[in-house]
Structure 1
Amino acid sequence: MLQHLPALVTLLNVLLQFATLWIVGKARTRYGVHAPAISGHPGFERAWRVQMNTLEASVMFLPVLWLATYYGFPIWAGIAGLVWLLGRVWYIVTYMKDPSARGPSFGLALIGWAALVVLSGYGIVRAMLIG
C-alpha cells in the first residue's frame, strides 16, 4: 500500500496547485485587481507570489519524486514528498500573513526536496553501476 504514496503525493500537489489558483482568484476579487494585471494591492501580490513560487517549486519537486520512486525508493520518496507538501502548505499560510516569516517553512520543504535529490542520485548511480 505505501508503495503508492508517491502517486498520492502527486495528486496532493495538483490539489495544492489548484488551491493557490483559487487563492489568487479570490484575491483578484477582494482587492479589485483585474486580469491581466499582476500587481496592485499587496494582498493580491502575496497571493500571486505564493502561486508562482509553488508552481516553480513543483517543477523541481515532481521529477525527483518520481526518479526516487522509479529507482527503488517509493516509500521514502512518498515520505519525503509529504514533508515537502507540509512545508509548502505552511509556506503558503506564512507568506500570506507575513512574507518575511517564510524561512522555516521554506526550510522544511527544502529538506523534503533535498532528500528526494539524494534518493534519486543514489538510485540512479546504483542502477548505472549494477547494470
Structure 2
Amino acid sequence: VLFLAYLVLQVIYARRKYKISPPETTGHPEFERIFRAQANCSEYFPIFISLLWVAGIFFHQGVAAVCGLLYLYTRFRYFQGYAAAAQERLVP
C-alpha cells in the first residue's frame, strides 16, 4: 500500500510540475508516462496481493515475503523505466 502511495505522489508531483488539473489525463508526454505507469501498477496490485496472500497461507511465508519484495522491486524499476523518455530507455 505504501508503494501505491509513492506512485500516487509521483503523479501528483507531475501534475503540479506540468500544471495538469484532475481529472485530465493528457498533457505533457512525461506526465502521461508517469500517469500510465502508475495506472498500470495499480491495475495489477489486486492480483499481486491475492497471490501473495494465498502463497503465505498455503506455502512458506518466508518465500512468499521474499517473492513479494522482489515483485515490488521489479515494479519500482518498471515505473522508473516507463517514466523515462523512450530515447533514454533504448540502447544504441
Please tell me the TM-score bracket, short chain as reference: 0.7 to 0.9
SS at 1:80 equivalent: helix
> Is residue 38 from structure 1 mapped to residue 22 from structure 2 by the alignment?
no
Q: CA deviation at 1:43?
A: 1.1
1:78-89 aligned within 5 A: 78-89=65-76
| Of 81, 84, 92, the match for 1:97 | 84
| Of 56, 63, 81, the match for 1:76 | 63
Aligned sequence identity (%): 32
Computed over aligned residues only, the root mean square deviation of the Cα atoms, in angstroms, reads: 1.4
Q: CA deviation at 1:98?
A: 3.3
CA distance in 2, matches of 1:43, 1:98: 7
Which has the larger Rg?
Answer: 1
Gaps of 5+ in 1: 1-13, 102-131
The TM-score normalised by the length of structure 1 is 0.63
CA distance in 1, matches of 2:7, 2:47: 17
CA distance in 1, matches of 2:61, 2:26: 41
Residue matched to 1:48: 35
Gaps of 5+ in 2: none
Q: 1:99 to 1:54 in 2, by over 3 A?
A: farther
CA distance in 2, matches of 1:47, 1:77: 29
- Which residue identity lines up with residue 79 of structure 1 in the other structure? V
